[in-house]
Structure 1
Amino acid sequence: MEELEEEILIRFPPHEPALVCKRWRRLVSGPAFRRRFRELHRTPPMLGFLCNIVEDAGSYCFVPTAGAFRAPGADLCQCRALDARHGRVLLKCPGSSEGALVVWDPSTDEKLELSIAVLGRYAYNWTAAILCAACGTCNHLDCHHGPFLVVYVACGGSREAFICTYSSDAGTWSEPITTELQLPSDLVTLMPGGLALATVHEYKLCIWRKAGREDDAGWTQNMVIELESLLPRDAILASPNVVGFADGIGVIFLSACCALFTIDLNTYKAKKVFKGKSIYVAIVYINFYTP
């Protein structure tokens, strides 16, 4: 019976693609099935990651990790990946003298270009992030078709930093908010449970977390993983660097000896996922996907 077929198919793991007949394909492609599938599994799978390549400055490549997923958008290969969150990817692309931002949905190949020049502010260093506009009230199971925000942070002249936010609902950038330049030099990332810092020291992967939410809260080391037993000898001798983190599924990316490795913080297992190029940033694309 069809209702029993749906109960079986809905329990397939999101990260393991399945080949099905045409009748089942119509079933799993329906909006009701997709909604139930997301609500049951809750945590979206890692469909792939974007690598910014050292040898080819200003370009990236998309590496799929789920067999059925192949991201279109090869025309964006001259861009640089900045961020990926809630089903969307943010890229820096050559579009003007200052560059342009492109919001890209790899599952649908929808693109939206955002001009930075309209801000009218000089910046010698900047970065940007993308997120769902309903953060705090959204479960992020199927929000990549909804409204989004792009946060742009830049360093200007005279020890000045400013931040602007683009809203897809309004279709415009906000007025810049300026502050004295006090940005930290270390890269801090958001892991489940709060702010954390990952680094490699003496062949060990060390995870530091901020104790509490107060501004003056200290940092404590809460995880140390010996890499000598996980990575090849040549990778260890090349002094691996932390180049990315998969938020929500506990995976750290390490780059060493023209190869990219993942370290699973839950199982303490390592896996080589890319080779042949030196990677300085790996940005993970996480989303539910039904072809």
Structure 2
Amino acid sequence: MSLPPPPQRGRQSPPVLVDDALGEIFLRIPPDDPKSLVRAAAVCTTWRGILSDAAFDRCYREFHGAPPVLGFLHNKRHERTYGKGRNKRREAYLVSNFVSTASFRPPACHERRHWHALDSRHGLALFHTPKRDEDFVVCDLVTYDRWRINAISEFRTVISNANDEDITWNAAVICAKEQCNHIYCHGGPFFVALVGSDEEKTFASFYSSVTRKWSGMISIDEPHAILMTGHSAVVGNKVYFHCEETESVVEYDMGEQELCVIDTPFESELVDLVGVEDGMLLFTTLKNSRLYLLSMVAGPDGTKEWARCRVVNLEPLLPSHALLDVSVVGFAQGLGLIFLNTEAGLFTVELASGRRKKVDGDTSFTKVMPYMSFFTKEWGRQPTSE
């Protein structure tokens, strides 16, 4: 009987893994590290085939659940001086900025002069663009698909009078796919809900990307000023906007085309609507280095039902000098991630684990809009032209 061949010395090739085993490994690449997926896809045609497969794309999203935060949008006010002598003038304008918190860099979206970021939800970002031919732009920062929208004539006067203190408005973008779990909303369709107020009325309308038309404007005889720098919240077909100077919330039901104002039992003007958690409106307030989270279900006829109130002690989570001036400026729905602007920079705090992370050194954020989306098979796609 012949003896087996002696073992070979030196470096040996690793055993070939089956596609299923490779797929299980790739599933565990963190979703906020899309660069690793891109690098893996570039190794060989086999790996690229696995990562580009629609079945893997679907399994990857289901495995990780809520989309990761790839970065956040915020606005900065700038001023420029032009002209000379008596003709010298100053112009104030906004610049929208995207700050990456992951290995993700959207094409040509870091700074947009005269673009005002209004909202970010379901993988879409909504901008007000007063210096362009259209009034709004909706942008998918992963695929860089863009949709240009003009406001209806009744609203054009409203949104153009930004310096009129008696006219306020805000807008939100919402995925319009039926029975969507909002894990993968690329390509539309979507709605844009627009709510405004003047000295006499509060009014609303919404745009559908399917019909490319606005709904008829509805109104109520209640002049509740919309908080223009506030966050919006979405529950089903209902969109909520916080009001200025009063602890009220405007509810716009796009499905039933109804508009109403809900009074909240808050005594402090520092309570802010930041989003939705477990299908309930989420409000926050800060007092003595403690973060109070107040959840509310908005019932019919403006009734309220409180679900819970939680308190998070920020002292063990943030540096001592950061506690001198803290404000809640953003919330990542589905991840339970709060954004806090502090004297030491911008921090995120995971409500479930208490884990905190410093994401930016700036201390002047007033509103940040987390951009949440999976970045899987979209790599390599070239941005469309303006």
Q: Pick which of 141-150 and 215-224 moved more.
A: 215-224
Distance 2:190 2:181 in 1: 14
**Where do 1:101-180 residues align within 5 Å?**
101-116=136-151, 118-120=153-155, 122-123=157-158, 124-134=167-177, 137-156=179-198, 158-180=199-221
Instruction: Return the letter of the residue paired with 1:279.
Output: F
Residue 7 (structure 1) aligns with: 24
CA contact (8 A) 1:53 1:280 kept: no
Distance 1:26 1:118 in 2: 49
Residue 337 (structure 2) aligns with: 251
Distance 2:109 2:28 in 1: 33
Change in Cα spacing, 1:110 to 1:277, as seen in structure 2 (3 Å) is: farther
Q: Secondary structure of the equivalent of 1:74?
A: coil
Distance 2:214 2:123 in 1: 21
Q: For residues 20-59 of structure 1, what are the alpha-carbon distances to aligned partners after superposition, in whole Å with 9 as ceiling and x for unaligned?
A: 1133133212323212222333221111111223567522
Q: Which TM-score applies when normalising by structure 1?
A: 0.88
Distance 1:114 1:46 in 2: 26
Aligned partner of 1:202 among 271, 277, 288: 288
Distance 1:64 1:232 in 2: 23
Distance 1:134 1:26 in 2: 28
Distance 1:277 1:55 in 2: 16
Q: For residues 215-269 of structure 1, what are the alpha-carbon distances to aligned partners after superposition, in whole Å with 9 as ceiling and x for unaligned?
A: 32254662111222222233211x2111111111001111122721111101112
Distance 1:47 1:151 in 2: 24
CA contact (8 A) 2:78 2:95 kept: no
CA contact (8 A) 2:120 2:371 kept: yes
Q: Secondary structure of the equivalent of 1:77?
A: strand
CA contact (8 A) 2:78 2:94 kept: no
Aligned partner of 2:318 among 224, 231, 234: 231
Of all paired residues, the percent bearing the same amino acid is 34
**Where do 1:31-42 residues align within 5 Å?**
31-42=54-65
CA contact (8 A) 2:97 2:111 kept: no
Q: State the structure with more CA Rg.
A: 2
Residue 76 (structure 2) aligns with: 53
CA contact (8 A) 1:15 1:66 kept: yes
Residue 87 (structure 2) aligns with: none
Change in Cα spacing, 1:176 to 1:231, as seen in structure 2 (3 Å) is: same
Residue 71 (structure 1) aligns with: 106
Distance 1:42 1:130 in 2: 21
Q: Aligned-pair distance for 1:211? A: 5.5
**Where do 1:83-102 residues align within 5 Å?**
83-95=119-131, 100-102=135-137
Q: Pick which of 244-253 and 177-186 moved more.
A: 177-186
- Over the aligned positions, Cα root-mean-square deviation in angstroms equals 2.4
Distance 1:127 1:212 in 2: 20
Change in Cα spacing, 1:257 to 1:117, as seen in structure 2 (3 Å) is: farther
Instruction: Return the letter of the residue paired with 1:37.
Output: Y
Q: Which TM-score applies when normalising by structure 2?
A: 0.68
Instruction: Return the letter of the residue paired with 1:132.
Output: C
CA contact (8 A) 2:152 2:214 kept: no
Q: Secondary structure of the equivalent of 1:94?
A: coil
Q: Pick which of 35-44 and 199-208 moved more.
A: 35-44
Question: Higher relative CO (CA 8 A, sep ≥ 6), structure 1 or 2?
Answer: 1
